[in-house]
Amino acid sequence: MPKLSEYNKKRDFKKTAEPKGKVKKGGKELHFVVQKHDASRLHYDFRLEIDGVLVSWAVPKGPIADTSVKRLAMHVEDHPMDYIDFEGTIPKGQYGGGTVMVWDTGTYLAEGSDDVEESEKMLRKMHEEGNIKVVMKGKKLKGSYHLVHMHGKDQEWLLMKGKDDYADKKDFDQTSVLTGRTLEEIEEDKKSDVWNSNKNDKSKSKRATPKKAGTDADVESIDAPVAFTPDDVANAKQLKDFPIEWLPQLATLTDEVFDSKEWAYEIKYDGYRAIIQVNKGKVNLVSRNGISFNKKYAPLVKAFEAITNDVVLDGEIVVEDEKGISHFQWLQYFAENPNRGKLKCYVFDILYFNGFDLTSLGLVQRKKILEALLPQSDEIIYSGHTIGNGSKAIKQVQKNGGEGLIAKKLTSKYYVNKRSKDWLKIKVSKEQEMVIGGFTDPQGSRTAFGSLLLGYYEDGKLVYSGKVGTGFNEESLKDMHEKLLKLEQKTSPFSVKPKERGIHFIKPELVAQIKYSEWTETNSLRHPVFIALRNDKDPKKVVREVASSTEKIVPEEKTKKAVKKNTKEKSAVDTTEKPKAEPKKAVTKKPATKKPASKAVAKKGWDHSKAEVTHPDKIFWPKEGYTKGDVINYYDEMAQWIMPYIKDRPQSMRRTPNGIDKDGFFQKNVAGSAPDWAQTEKIHSDSTKEDIEYLICNDKETLIYMANRGCIEINPWSSRIGTLDNPDYIIFDLDPNQASIKDLVTTAKKVKEILDSLGINGYLKTSGGKGLHVFIPILPKYTYDQSRDFSHIISQAVNSALPKITSLERMPKKRIGKVYLDFLQNGKGKTMACAYSLRPREGATASTPLEWDELNDKNFDLKNYNIKTLPERVKEKGDLWANFFNDAVDLKALLDKLS
């Protein structure tokens, strides 16, 4: 149980304003904070929310992102949750007297879990066992971190970075994530020797202490963190009246990213563009069509009331999740659900200030003025920029799951209500506004409507561009249907009537934002996905957006040769697991040691008009010479054997499109990228609070499609559609960590021995790597927690019987030479290579069902089961797991036997 008595005992609350210790009930997320603390010695306080308090460690040298470095972490007293956003000064003479900075903060979960309640249970046990593993979602600390209690010590722990995509040897920024201040600036800002919390100081700048700017005339009233002078507005034109009619400048879509020192690169936000008018203290938020946002986004109106000058600003209104990813649909329905995400406005330009028209000034001058006077808060953020390196900027946007970049010429003026080539849009994914001209009747189990009929205007006529039926849930289907029925009409609004069944036409008054992969030769959108309605767009102004050539806009002699942007759909990849963007390199084909590269893919039993094959000669295994075509041929031949183990199961696609020597990545969300004919299923994710559209592989065409996308291995869920919360098998993953084959075999036999004693038929297979798997089929009536508990019980029994050669220790360094009994593989959404799946490993090995007697073979070698041997093996032995699902056991009966 968490206790705050020690915390309270150490503090005199008459002298310090630190909060008294009170345990608070947990919310919907688990939070953490790292505070940089300059007390008697400089250190960092690493605090994790566990059971309503901040469990704390003092880390003298601070957290790192380098996996090769360990940091000493001294376990100290628990702190109250109210401590999480304190920044300022503790009085001298008081416990911990000195300056405190909020160095980083965010949310986290236990490693291996995407559920808060489950994480809390795991964390209690991890803390008790002295081995805490978490996944952090901070502004600085991201990914896996481990805290391990040093054996035989009292308070000494070690803080380490886990190996993942966020591991790096970079140095962290040493300013506050709340206010942007250094420790010295926080010390200078202290007001008497008491704790100074920023909790209620929402208007404080995030960059520096406010200072009066030394300016004259109408500029002298600025209270700004970055001073500017009269020279900055010397060329500005003075206006008599406040400009209430100004609308934003628009950018031109371009076809590729570029590098130029004459251009600035800003993040392109996925929200509503807004002009912010502050006139005599009154705030008005105006859409790009002149519609007021005040009622819909009232919290922003209140936030902008902190501005005491008359200004016109340009920005983007968004709603972000805890990862900082914006969601347009959340923004659209913010008024109905204001607690879903964080409402913000990113401000990137200033057009008017206290009687001066600033639009004739250059971009850099305008942004300098903007940064100086903008009172930043949780809701209002200054949108910064980088100069020169667009290629690097777009890669970072891709990694963070962003929409794209806006490139702006440094010297550019602001063109009110015009589209200019001084501002360029560079998108990561392709999107297009479309006018809705009708809808079709629903089919099968679908409700409300089937698809929306889309179009765009060309020479004043509405041109049909296809239909979209994905991107909806039951709620949005119903809401959209109500809007459609109110606009229904008998005549077609399209210039050429679409040839679709069950059509209903509507007045072309609704505009939809659509994500797609490409335009077809017939001017239709390929793989369209509905994102949201745009009530800020005029339907008559919706035209087909064609990307202008970057080379024609930005002279080549002024740019470096940048890597051409890959505009294929990126949002199909889960934001917690993005691939690292790499420049294209020529593939060096090494001499094949076992076989030559395939020349073609055998045309066997699948519909090639659906599952197309591209680049079959691409080398996937450089040493062996195996190709992508070999993978496709393998799955074509093995489909009848593998399909029973992947049918009706969501697929977490592990894609290795550049071969086994390059980093692969997992793709869960296939919205907008899966073929129209492929089956998909929307599943709600507790971690992202969004629906993820998973691919369901129920036919050979889908299997070949996955292989063509670079899926060397196949990773299905342990549960099926209809019973997603109830797995139908339990996994025992026997993972050798430099253990011998003899010990691995001994461990597997011990698992069998214990299962046999319970009357359970355990099914054996190779992992396709260095280990073995034992699966137990169960009735899909029980939870993942129950399946994991059973696996844990059996694993403990195996460990007790074989303590010298097995381990339940999760940290690899503590189990070198032992077989790890990994029971944690039993979890919702966790995946394991299925029976007969290839693996992206040396030798093109495959996860192969075995007979238990095969473990007695003195020549047993895991490498013997591979892409070449398996097709012949199944012809000889058949499917050794053919009775797998017929042997499903009742888990409750098993647990009763063990109780």
Mean per-residue pLDDT of the chain: 82
Instruction: Give the model's confidence band at 583: pLDDT under 50 very low, under 70 low, under 90 confident, else very high.
Output: very low
Instruction: Give the model's confidence band at 198: pLDDT under 50 very low, under 70 low, under 90 confident, else very high.
Output: very low
Least confident of 281-295, 308-322, 470-484: 470-484
Residue 117 is predicted with a pLDDT of 86
Residue with tokens 């390199």: 585
- Does position 573 have pLDDT exceeding 60, yes or no? no
What's the topology of domain 211-427?
Answer: D-amino Acid Aminotransferase; Chain A, domain 1 (3.30.470)
Return the structure tokens found at 157: 């722990």
- Of 425, 450, 439, 426, nearest to 494 (Cα)? 439
Residue with tokens 């700017």: 213
Q: Contact at 8 Å (CB) between 730 and 778?
A: yes
d(CA 575, CA 837): 26
CB atoms within 10 A of CB 605: 10
Neighbouring-strand partners of residue 263: 409
Residue 393 is predicted with a pLDDT of 87
Q: Indicate the DSSP class of residue 685.
A: E
Q: Indicate the DSSP class of residue 219.
A: G
- Does position 572 have pLDDT exceeding 90, yes or no? no
Residue 213 is predicted with a pLDDT of 27
Residue 39 is predicted with a pLDDT of 82
Least confident of 192-201, 453-462, 534-543: 192-201
Neighbouring-strand partners of residue 259: 560
d(CA 811, CA 483): 55
Q: Indicate the DSSP class of residue 670.
A: -
Residue 18 is predicted with a pLDDT of 63
Measure the N-to-C terminal CA separation of the chain; round to a whole number of Å: 27
Return the structure tokens found at 356: 């001066």
- Does position 355 have pLDDT exceeding 50, yes or no? yes
The share of the chain scoring above pLDDT 70, in percent, equals 84
The share of the chain scoring above pLDDT 90, in percent, equals 42
Instruction: Give the model's confidence band at 761: pLDDT under 50 very low, under 70 low, under 90 confident, else very high.
Output: very high
H/E run at residue 183: helix 183-188
**CA separation (Å) from 413 to 254, 367, 416?**
19, 12, 10
Q: What are the backbone dihedrals phi and psi of residue 873, each rounded to the nearest 5 degrees, phi first?
A: -60, -45
pTM of the shown model: 0.41
**Average pLDDT, stretch 46-64?**
91
Residue type, 812: P
Residue 582 is predicted with a pLDDT of 39
Neighbouring-strand partners of residue 361: none
d(CA 376, CA 203): 6
- Does position 522 have pLDDT exceeding 90, yes or no? no
The CATH number of the structural domain formed by 430-537 is: 2.40.50.140
- Does position 233 have pLDDT exceeding 90, yes or no? no
- For β-strands 282-287 and 311-320, DSSP reports them as unpaired
Residue 587 is predicted with a pLDDT of 36
Sign (positive or negative) of CA dihedral 281, 284, 285, 288: negative
Q: Dump pLDDT digits (tens) for 118-159.
A: 898 999 999 989 999 999 998 899 999 999 998 878 889 999
d(CA 190, CA 398): 40
d(CA 761, CA 490): 64
Where residue 86 falls (left for φ over 0; alpha for ψ -120 to 50; beta otherwise) is beta
Residue extents of the structural domains in the chain: 5-188, 211-427, 430-537, 572-716, 729-829+851-898
- Does position 560 have pLDDT exceeding 80, yes or no? no
Instruction: Give the model's confidence band at 16: pLDDT under 50 very low, under 70 low, under 90 confident, else very high.
Output: low
Least confident of 155-169, 635-649, 677-691, 860-874: 677-691
Residue 243 is predicted with a pLDDT of 94
The CATH number of the structural domain formed by 729-829+851-898 is: 3.90.920.10
Least confident of 98-112, 188-202, 279-293, 747-761: 188-202
d(CA 833, CA 657): 17
Q: Dump pLDDT digits (tens) for 875-889.
A: 999 999 999 999 999
Residue 168 is predicted with a pLDDT of 82
Least confident of 222-236, 322-336, 607-621: 222-236
Residue 528 is predicted with a pLDDT of 84
d(CA 714, CA 839): 8
Q: Dump pLDDT digits (tens) for 775-831.
A: 999 999 999 999 998 999 999 999 999 999 999 887 777 888 999 998 888 888 888
d(CA 433, CA 198): 42
d(CA 337, CA 168): 38
> Looking at the annotation, which residues are catalytic?
268
Q: Contact at 8 Å (CB) between 790 and 730?
A: yes
**Average pLDDT, stretch 514-540?**
79
Fold identical between 211-427 and 430-537?
no
Radius of gyration of the chain (CA): 30
Residue with tokens 């109408």: 218
